Amino acid sequence: MELDLIAVFMIGLAGGFGHCIGMCGGFVLTYTLKINQNDLIAQPNWWQRITPHLLYSAGRIISYMIIGNILGLLGTAIDSMLALRIQGALEIFAGIIMVIMGIELAGFIPKLNPNTFPGVNPFKKLAGTMFNKVRRDNILGLGFVLGFIPCGLVYAAGAKAIASDGVINGALIMLAFGLGTIPAMVLTGLVSGSIPKKIQSKIYRIAAILVIILGVMTIMHGIKAPGKIQEKHLSYETHTEIRI
């Protein structure tokens, strides 16, 4: 589990500088400008400058953890409903999804149009309203709402969460991912996205490769899982026979 958390954190870290700056950098720049208009401070000190960005990321992480809770619960529910230990199968499935997402993130297959998903347009209206009214005292809520925006990296981390074997583990996976994205988001807010696009593209490709690698690792772990379960079952049968 510790290795999974480190790997997901690294995906968030690399993806933050490669993907999040490009996808969410506009959001960060917009709310920074709006805060300066709506919550005017003549000469903000260092802490006053960085606090909104930390609160925004905290809001995102809360929503990520809720997603992780739901996906972890879903994986556990599927396991329980079938009355079988299918954790291995879930991990294989999640690993395949992660590999596909990694390939998609790398640009080798067409991206899905987020507007095709139901509820996207009302979500955009809500986010737009919150942007116009954003201040230092309510930016946590903006981060929370925007944390649910469809995102390939979030999907990839979520695929790992669904195979994490539990609600808590699912939340921890998404927490690790969210923490990894903080440096890029805070830096973007402070320097207004000055990282060159060419460098962003290269870092993003690294994040996509990390997603693929973690996906392959998840598949391999899932392949080994049935064997471990079978060994436990045989051990239980042997122990029962000895007692008899």
State the pLDDT at residue 116: 52
| Contact between residue 8 and residue 164 where contact means Cβ atoms under 8 Å apart | no
What is the model's pTM?
Answer: 0.71
DSSP codes joined into one string, 13-35: HHHIIIIIHHHHHHHHHHHHHHH
Kind plus residue range of the DSSP H or E element containing 99? helix 87-105
Residue 226 corresponds to which tokens in the numbers above?
């049935």
State the pLDDT at residue 102: 72
Amino acid occupying residue 92: I
Comparing CA positions, the residue from 110, 56, 104 lying closest to residue 207 is 104
What is the spatial distance between Cα 160 and Cα 163, in angstroms, rounded to a whole number?
Answer: 5
The secondary structure of residue 6, as a DSSP letter, is: H
State the pLDDT at residue 47: 85
State the pLDDT at residue 65: 95
pLDDT in tens for each of the 244 residues of the chain?
A: 677 788 889 888 888 887 677 667 777 877 887 887 787 776 778 888 899 999 999 999 999 999 999 988 887 777 666 655 556 666 777 777 768 767 776 666 665 555 555 555 676 678 778 877 888 889 999 999 888 876 777 878 888 888 777 889 899 999 999 999 999 888 887 775 455 666 756 766 776 777 788 778 778 877 776 544 444 444 444 444 444 4
What is the spatial distance between Cα 117 and Cα 144, in angstroms, rounded to a whole number?
Answer: 19
State the pLDDT at residue 177: 93
